[in-house]
Amino acid sequence: MYNDNPTINNLKDKSVDESRQGEALDLKTPNTEGGKKFYIESYGCAMNFSDSEIVASILSKEGYSSCTTFTDADLILINTCSIREKAEKNVRQRLRVFDKTKDKKPGVLVGVLGCMAERLKTKFLEEEKLVDMVVGPDAYRDLPKLIAEADDGGKGVNVFLSREETYADISPVRLGSNGVTAFISITRGCDNMCSFCVVPFTRGRERSREPFSIVAEAQDLVNRGYREVTLLGQNVDSYKWKNPETEEMVTFARLLEMVAQVDPRMRVRFSTSHPKDLNNEVLYTITKYHNICNYIHLPVQSGNSRILELMNRTYDREWYKERIDKIYEVIPDCTISSDIITGFCTETDEDHKDTLSLIEYSNFILSYMFKYSERPGTIAHRKYEDDVPEEVKKKRLTEIVDLQNALSLKSNLKDVGETFEVLIEGDSKKSADEFRGRNQYNKMLVFPKNEGLKPGDYVFVKVRDVNSATLLGDIVKHHETFNA
């Protein structure tokens, strides 16, 4: 679910939202003529993109309007990712480019947000002299004050993590939006402490957002024509919120149901699930509602039980297989995707083969596959040696990618001749004569346009041809409402 490549509020990561690829930021805030302008660039996971929308909301209340070219901006913000070394390197490179703008326009402020800000704190200011603000993921409400401090020639810093902050009351301003699909953040932080992962250190303790504000946000999106929401969290299945008045506990399954009931025309997705927390109640809730997509992103990380233990994933190979079996038993047509790390500390060729065989067993339609990248301060960094040579990591990664591509193609080939209900998200990348949209299984379809149809409409598309990434087809029927 992470993307190490720079994008301007659009996601190259297609399982998150391919429709936002290649689109410039388009922020629907009043254009305050002569007022201050900000530019924001986001890296990494969907949560970061979602946070940038909270930041945009906070700034628009301060009279800022957005711009899509950083050279036009008075305030340049970069929302950063620390998940792998490469992600951090990308940010450093980008800062070199912003430095040049500052040389030409001395009043411009540059702020670093997100996980790198949290990880490096004031060290960032020592290392990057032209950075004016360092703001951690729980401190965005403080931005107006920090901007004022930086404007006065100081440095604005707030990297305090919170046990409560969920930004529940802030209405995100949708950035680079296609007007059809949106993220809703439901939890923040992570308590899992997977040994390879920097997230618990950069995003703090897990907390769940109050459910009524989530439902209200979903309702508002429907009212504005949106037709798909993705409930976001590092570990959505551990969502829990206790009503202080009734003592009633809202679990993730219950929340899913509450959001599904907002409007049958609105699809519901969620990400990311942890295998230890994805329970049967969630699976049964998925089957109960037509508008909850039969698709689960369930990162396995490794197929070997010894490595899983070193990773502190708290499940083993057999547990994961049981979860996969249960998903296919309860939701036979469900598609599953995964994240995989190759070359974790002490991983042998035999361990790697276990990963290959579990990928095959699980029949993932898609995986995000990474070479292990040691992150400072993590348990693995402190306890284990990063001892798998780079060439071995590379070779294993290639094997995993090849296997996954073959599985994706096989799965897509089975779809030839099938007809799917597709939500139109926008024009296809290649041609303005074609639409693109996903089916509930998170597969992208491309098909010639029919007159009168627009993004946000549902259509039935019959698949004529496929490759490992996309299904090509033709509209056979369209309808106004979801259940028509």
Termini Cα distance of the chain = 33
Query: Which amino acid does the sequence have at 104?
Result: K
Tell me the residue number closest to ligand 5AD, measured at CB: 339
3-class secondary structure, 235: coil
- How many residues bind ligand 5AD, per CB under 6 A? 14
Q: Out of 197, 214, 218, 340, which residue is the one contacting ligand SF4 (CB under 6 A)?
A: 197
Structure tokens, 261:
């009931």
Cβ distance to ligand 5AD smaller for residue 181 or 373: 373
Query: Which DSSP string do the residues of 397-461 spell out, in sequence order?
Result: HHHHHHHHHHHHHHHHHTTTT-EEEEEEEEE-SS-TTEEEEE-TTS-EEEEE--TT--TT-EEEE
In the chain, % helix, strand, coil (3-state, to 5) comes to 35, 25, 40
Structure tokens, 209:
């957002």
- How many residues bind ligand SF4, per CB under 6 A? 10
Cβ distance to ligand 5AD smaller for residue 251 or 301: 301
Q: Out of 111, 114, 176, 200, which residue is the one contacting ligand SF4 (CB under 6 A)?
A: 200
Q: How far apart are CA 421 and CA 265, in angstroms?
A: 12
Cβ distance to ligand 5AD smaller for residue 285 or 342: 342
Interaction of residue 255 with ligand SF4, rule CB under 6 A? no
Question: Hey, which residues between 63 and 92 contact ligand 5AD (CB under 6 A)?
Answer: 83-84
Structure tokens, 307:
């490595």
User: For residue 370, what are the contacts with CB-CB under 8 A and spacing of at least 6?
Assistant: 84, 339, 340, 341, 342, 397
Closest CA to 196 of 1, 373, 389: 373
Is 345:386 a contact under the CB 8 Å cutoff? yes
Interaction of residue 46 with ligand SF4, rule CB under 6 A? no
| 84 contact, one of ligand 5AD, ligand SF4, none, CB 5-8 Å limit per kind | ligand 5AD
Cβ distance to ligand SF4 smaller for residue 192 or 294: 192
Torsion of CA 249, 253, 254, 257, to 10 degrees: 170
Binding mask 367-406 for ligand 5AD (x = CB under 6 A): ---x-xx-x-------------------------------
Q: Tell the smallest beta-carbon distance from residue 1 to ligand 5AD (Å).
A: 5
Q: Tell the smallest beta-carbon distance from residue 311 to ligand SF4 (Å).
A: 8
Q: Tell the smallest beta-carbon distance from residue 233 to ligand SF4 (Å).
A: 9
Q: How far apart are CA 79 and CA 315, in angstroms?
A: 32
Q: How far apart are CA 312 and CA 423, in angstroms?
A: 38
Spacing of C-alpha 22 from chain mean position? 16
Question: Hey, which residues between 262 and 291 contact ligand SF4 (CB under 6 A)?
Answer: 274
Cβ distance to ligand SF4 smaller for residue 274 or 438: 274
Binding mask 329-358 for ligand 5AD (x = CB under 6 A): ----------x-x-----------------
Q: Tell the smallest beta-carbon distance from residue 101 to ligand 5AD (Å).
A: 31
Interaction of residue 192 with ligand SF4, rule CB under 6 A? yes
Is 172:155 a contact under the CB 8 Å cutoff? no
φ, ψ at 342 (rounded to 5°): -110, 145
Q: How far apart are CA 64 and CA 62, in angstroms?
A: 6
Cβ distance to ligand 5AD smaller for residue 2 or 70: 2
Cβ distance to ligand 5AD smaller for residue 67 or 300: 300
User: For residue 481, what are the contacts with CB-CB under 8 A and spacing of at least 6?
Assistant: 264, 265, 458
Question: Hey, which residues between 221 and 260 contact ligand 5AD (CB under 6 A)?
Answer: none
Question: Hey, which residues between 178 and 217 contact ligand 5AD (CB under 6 A)?
Answer: 196-197
Q: Out of 234, 251, 335, 404, which residue is the one contacting ligand SF4 (CB under 6 A)?
A: 234
In 56-83, which positions are buried (b, 16+ CB within 10 angstroms) versus exposed (e)? bbbbbeeebbbbeebeebbbbbbbbbbb
| 364 contact, one of ligand SF4, ligand 5AD, none, CB 5-8 Å limit per kind | none
Binding mask 293-332 for ligand 5AD (x = CB under 6 A): ------x-x-------------------------------
Interaction of residue 194 with ligand SF4, rule CB under 6 A? yes
Interaction of residue 112 with ligand 5AD, rule CB under 6 A? no
| 190 contact, one of ligand 5AD, ligand SF4, none, CB 5-8 Å limit per kind | ligand SF4
The span of 84-92, 159-167, 186-194, 262-270 binding ligand SF4 (CB under 6 A) equals 186-194
φ, ψ at 264 (rounded to 5°): -65, -15
Strand partners, 441: none
Spacing of C-alpha 396 from chain mean position? 25
Cβ distance to ligand SF4 smaller for residue 196 or 458: 196
Q: How far is CA 66 from CA 53, 62, 355, in A?
A: 11, 12, 45
Q: Tell the smallest beta-carbon distance from residue 198 to ligand SF4 (Å).
A: 8
Q: Which residues bind ligand SF4 (CB under 6 A)?
A: 190, 192-194, 197, 199-200, 234-235, 274
Q: Which residues bind ligand 5AD (CB under 6 A)?
A: 1-2, 83-84, 196-197, 299, 301, 339, 341, 370, 372-373, 375
